[in-house]
Amino acid sequence: MQNNTTELKTMNTKSDFSKKAVHFLLDKGIAIIGVVLLFIIMSIVSSDFLTVDNLLNVSRQSAVLCIMAVGMTFIIITGGIDLSAGSQIAVSGVIIASLLAAGVPLPFAILLTIAAGGVIGFIIGGIVATQKIPPFIVTLAMMTILSGLAFVITQGSPIIVSNEAFRFLGRGYIGPIPVPILLLVVVSIIGYLLLSQTKFGRYVYAVGDNEEAARLCGINVKKVKMGVYVLGASITALAGILLASRLSTGSPNAGTGSELDAIAAVVLGGTNLFGGEGKITGTLMGVAIISILNNGLNLLNVPSYHQLIIKGAVILLAVWLNSLKEKRTAA
Amino acid sequence: MSTPRLQLNHITKEFSGVKALKGVSLTLMPGSAHGLVGENGAGKSTLIKILTGAYAKTSGEIIYEGKTIEGMNPKKAKELGIHCIYQELNIANHLSIAENIFLGEQPTKMLGLIDWKKMNSDAQAVLSSLQIELDPKTMAGELSIAQKQMIEIARAISQNANVLIMDEPTSSLSERETEVLLSLVEKLKSKGVSVIYVSHRMPEIFRVCDTVTILRDGTYIQTLPVDQIDGTNDLVQLMVNRKLEDFFGKTEVPLKDIVIETRKLRKDGIFKDISFSVRGGEILGVAGLVGSGRTEIAEALFGVMSLNEGEILIDGRKVNIKSPREAISNGIGFVTENRKETGLVLKRSVMENISLANLSLLSGGMFVSNKKEKEIANLYKQKLNIKTANLEQRISNLSGGNQQKAILARWMIQKPKVLILDEPCRGVDVGAKTDIYSQITEMAKQGTAIIMISSEVDEIVGMSDRVIVMHEGEISGELSRVDINPDNIINLAFGGTVNAK
């Protein structure tokens, strides 16, 4: 027994350096190194990649994903998940398109759509927090419900929007900068401040790490859980508005499956799927990886079916690295 | 005299240098029941785990029917017929009684299909041999705890157990169920099975055991035939008997008014008639065995558990506490007994753990003031001598003692009127203990009413101004300063009486 321990100790010192290197990689580096690596590879293999036009394009296209992922980060840090985020995109796109079609002024239409998102989040959060049903199940059901709702509202066919001011959100520029990129930056900064600098942010981490300890510290766990889903769904509604604006259409098919990209981005960014850990900066890196990957594969003319396989493999890799990290910190 | 079934000679067990067992010996005869008694932490569980092969012994001999056994492991123990019925029952609720009895060893027919007919009839045979009147086809989930326990015993018997270890088998049984279990033990003895019976309940030891071995702090004290012991108090005397070291640094603090008072608190099936009061500056020790309802009282005071009846008064005013949040706003703090499960947010930093209950104090509006937070965390880091490279360090990298100090700091910042400490020094090294004790005393000096729950009798004796002792959900006695000594505490904890001075 004694011998075994000493042996183990010597083994530890031997591999100490490589362990530290691995630890650094897992702790801080995966996402950043991933972004840098992808950036370099794409620049080499495709001459179209490293151009101002293309990079602006990538950023603009990533806005919807990024805004969704910021909301999803809060939810995943509490140990939850929102599988209905993609359907929320469709529903909010359909809602704003209908409101505009009915002649509601744009600012009101935007506010009402975001409020509708908040209501959806309130329902999800309420069920998760008070009924102890796993968020996976609740949001899986909500995904189907909302998708159905989007089809019911539109009766199956997309609603075309001809409002010029509305198109500005998704396609316009302020100075040289596309509006979606501005929105992306604003949402990210607000998300960052909320998570890292406020009481609410601390509570989100505490609830995800150890719900019971959080409760015993006087934290209103139910309120925090409701809060992240309301926040997440409201932000997602904004992303839905943005997508509808870019497409000039409220389509019941918009955003389908995008929740998986958002979850993947969050996890790639180092957020722990079991809760308690994660950062907005990490999520931004995750979004960058997925967006560059999407763009790069398109530039390289990889067929879209093959793209799915590659993206799936990248997500699997990320979750695996995440689990490695879990094991290391547990040990 | 026949050969012993099992002999343990000078068993020792070390955990990274700490001796949990120091030369324990025990002889077990066929068809007899052997009591194993001692306080919490005396080494009973460790000994059981060595017997069942869950732990490897550091040194000593295990002799089974005359043969020395080397390299004991769970598989080998089972082959030898050594079985243990643990406190946490190992029953699959969604399977039938018969399936539970033959779990993992179901009789099969062709193609590996389960032979239900044979399994049910074999199960019936085992049950009848033990005179347990249950239908093997009943689902285990429908059974009471006592019945589940019997199913576990039947399982052991079906696997030819000849040494059966029972770890606190009656702790959750009613009186009538206990009686049934004890007669089952008698039956096992008459079948030639050797039983090791671990219990805190002395009358049961006297009822079924032939001999009893006493452990204290991991040391073998004595083995005695039960008929040579004079009664509960005598046996308890053998279990305690120790000298006290004074590293508690207890200082007498002038007592202020009553801060917290409880009146007839009752929680069905857990505790009843709990009335006590604590003054400002006073440390009330709450002693009693694990499971006697101590922790649950703390949980009720802190709003974790609801009460069926009773009143809680703070500063003479009746309060209605339904959640930890309300407890905190009423000036109560609670350091729980299990810091990893209910205290720490392990993935977060030392600083975040310290400030978690105090963010409202450290925030202007919704934003946390990084400066204030750092200042106060640093202050308490120095005050409590928390050893950490920096405050941004993950708290999981700290030692148990330093983690505990961080939790204590969390509540000290609140400056609570009442601080409840549940096992404040569990799994804490001696150095950190001294720091923690001196901070508890410091808080008492500042007028906090302190309720300290502990299984460590020394700690209770060394720190308390007054002690209440719990026994099976009731306060079995209250001791004022002059009467606080280990004998009195242990006697009350085991349901005995106090030796009047």
Listed range (A66-70, A105-109, A118-122, B250-254) with the worst mean pLDDT = B250-254
For B79, other C-beta atoms within 10 Å of its C-beta total 11
Q: Which residue of B has its CA nearest to A215?
A: B324
Instruction: Say if residue B262's pLDDT is above 90.
Output: yes
The set of residues, in sequence order, having a beta carbon less than 8 Å from that of A178 and lying 6+ positions away, is: A56, A59, A60, A171, A172
Mutate to test the interface with B, among A198, A204, A216 (most CBs of B within 10 A): A216
The tens digit of pLDDT for each residue in B125-174 reads: 999 888 888 999 999 988 888 888 889 989 998 888 999 999 888 877 77
Tell me whether A220 touches chain B (CB under 8 Å). Answer: yes
Local confidence band at B219 (pLDDT 50, 70, 90 cut-offs): confident
Contact criterion met (CB < 8 Å) for B325 and A220? yes
pLDDT the model gives residue B292: 87
pLDDT the model gives residue B319: 95
Contacts of A218 in chain B (CB under 8 A): 324-325, 327-329, 357
Q: Which residues pair with B364 in a beta bridge?
A: B367
Local confidence band at B243 (pLDDT 50, 70, 90 cut-offs): very low
Average pLDDT over residues A141-152: 96
Q: Which of A247, A239, A251, A90 is nearest to A162 (CA)?
A: A247
pLDDT the model gives residue B247: 66
Instruction: Say if residue B370's pLDDT is above 80.
Output: yes
pLDDT, chain A, mean = 88
The tens digit of pLDDT for each residue in A51-79 reads: 888 888 899 889 999 999 999 999 999 99
pLDDT the model gives residue B250: 76
Alpha-carbon gap, residue A115 to B369, rounded angstroms:
31
pLDDT, chain B, mean = 88
Residue ranges of E strands in B315-393: 317-319, 332-335, 363-364, 367-368
Contact criterion met (CB < 8 Å) for A219 and B325? yes
Contact criterion met (CB < 8 Å) for A205 and B352? yes
Q: Which residue of A has its CA nearest to B342?
A: A213
pLDDT the model gives residue B1: 53
Contacts of A200 in chain B (CB under 8 A): 366
pLDDT the model gives residue B352: 95
Q: Which residue of A has its CA nearest to B343?
A: A213
Structure tokens at A25: 């990689």
Local confidence band at B193 (pLDDT 50, 70, 90 cut-offs): very high
Nearest to B345 among A198, A199, A209 (CB): A209
The tens digit of pLDDT for each residue in B439-481 reads: 999 999 999 999 999 988 888 998 999 999 999 899 999 999 8
Residues of B numbered 258-317 whose beta carbons fall under 8 angstroms of chain A's beta carbons: which are they?
A: 302, 304
Residues of A numbered 248-307 whose beta carbons fall under 8 angstroms of chain B's beta carbons: which are they?
A: 272, 276-277
Q: Which of B451, B455, B461 is nearest to B482 (CA)?
A: B461
Q: Which residue of A has its CA nearest to B59?
A: A1
Instruction: Say if residue B41's pLDDT is above 90.
Output: no
Closest CA–CA distance from residue A92 to any residue of chain B (Å): 29
Closest CA–CA distance from residue B347 to any residue of chain A (Å): 6
Contacts of B355 in chain A (CB under 8 A): 202
Instruction: Say if residue A308's pLDDT is above 90.
Output: no
Q: What is the dihedral of CA B41, B46, B49, B55, to 10 degrees?
A: 140
A·B CB contacts under 8 A: 83
The tens digit of pLDDT for each residue in A205-218 reads: 999 999 999 999 99
Query: A195-205: b or e for each residue (b if 16 or more CB lie within 10 Å)?
Result: bebbbbbbbbb
pLDDT the model gives residue A10: 40
The larger pLDDT score, comparing residue B233 to residue A147, is at A147
Residues of A numbered 93-152 whose beta carbons fall under 8 angstroms of chain B's beta carbons: which are they?
A: none
DSSP B286: E
Alpha-carbon gap, residue B39 to B82, rounded angstroms:
24
Q: Which residue of B has its CA nearest to A203?
A: B356
Quote the pTM value. Answer: 0.77
DSSP code per residue over A179-197: HHHHHHHHHHHHHHHHHHH
Alpha-carbon gap, residue B140 to B133, rounded angstroms:
14
Average pLDDT over residues A28-38: 75
pLDDT the model gives residue A22: 63
